[in-house]
A and B are shown apart, each in its own frame.
Chain A
């Protein structure tokens, strides 16, 4: 390419700086903005189906195990704190501490997913499935004696598993990203106090997943 051609391809003036953040972080924020709309679609559908449903909705605490999920919520909050501690450690120039907190976050996230899988198995075993209540199960008895509303259990099952399932998928992606960050970047010393974009960007994603769970926990488990 000749010099004349190369200069013709350049913009005629220096490109202006935009929001003044580095590209990876800006990209993550734009992605998170799209994620807000994604979860708004799921939560919105749930709200519309629940409050427009033809009849009562199951009261919280009858079908779902609130205690174990409350513990899971606390665990996710703890893992958010450990992630931000990893960020604080590396920005203060302490890679060893950063690795410790990152590992704690991975363990917290993985335990959250493990408990959610256990909860799913437990629910399906008791008869709560994405299609509603399974014939002949323990919950089917509760539907028969009127403790659970027959008309809305199908909607409840499909919305519950869709929302918590997609959130669980996000947590799993977060754990995998953090594991990549830990084994491929942090352990070989590629995350330094001069460049810790990976920790900040994955951290933003992780806190967002925590934030969504805070809303989901209230809407799905407590209301």
Chain B
């Protein structure tokens, strides 16, 4: 096995994720801001949380670039796929 790195502070990341989840809930139901801004902020928080999980729990932060690329490649593909669908039905 090739794991020689020191473990990241998992409990701190857990705390981060918990606080971000609470922030999402407050944002969705308590904050009186416009619907579009709310949507943007909620997506931003979700991506932030997802990145924390991928970087620290899935150890992508400590992997080599070739494995990182393997993990990242489907994300733009998925976004292109969704945007193509939206362009046909919504825009």
Contacts and interface: CB of A to CB of B under 8 A. Distances in A.
Contact of B81 (A44, A78, A215): A44
Interface in B1-31: 1-3, 7, 10-11, 13-14, 17-18, 21, 24-25, 27-29
B67 A19 contact: yes
Contact of B89 (A22, A37, A48): A48
A51 B86 contact: yes
B86 A207 contact: no
A37 B78 contact: yes
B80 to A, nearest CB: 10
A223 B58 contact: no
Interface in A37-81: 37, 39-41, 43-45, 47-48, 51-52, 60-61, 66, 70, 73-74, 77-78, 80-81
9 contacts: A21-B63, A43-B82, A48-B82, A48-B86, A51-B86, A207-B57, A222-B28, A223-B28, A223-B42
A200 B3 CA distance: 11
Nearest to B35: A223
A204 interface: yes
Specify the main secondary structure of chain A where it touches its partner.
helix
A40 B11 CA distance: 30
Contact of B29 (A19, A61, A83, A217): A61
B82 A47 contact: yes
B81 A33 contact: no
Interface in B29-46: 29, 38-39, 42-43, 45-46
Interface of B: 1-3, 7, 10-11, 13-14, 17-18, 21, 24-25, 27-29, 38-39, 42-43, 45-46, 49-50, 53-54, 56-58, 63-64, 66-67, 70-71, 73-75, 77-79, 81-82, 85-86, 89-90
Specify the main secondary structure of chain B where it touches its partner.
helix
B71 A29 contact: yes
Nearest to B90: A52
A214 B49 contact: yes
Interface of A: 18-22, 26, 29-30, 32-34, 36-37, 39-41, 43-45, 47-48, 51-52, 60-61, 66, 70, 73-74, 77-78, 80-81, 83-85, 88, 91-92, 194-197, 200, 203-204, 207-208, 210-211, 214-215, 217-219, 222-223
A44 B82 contact: yes
Nearest to A216: B46
Contact of A81 (B14, B21, B70): B14
A109 B46 CA distance: 21
B50 to A, nearest CB: 5
A131 to B, nearest CB: 22
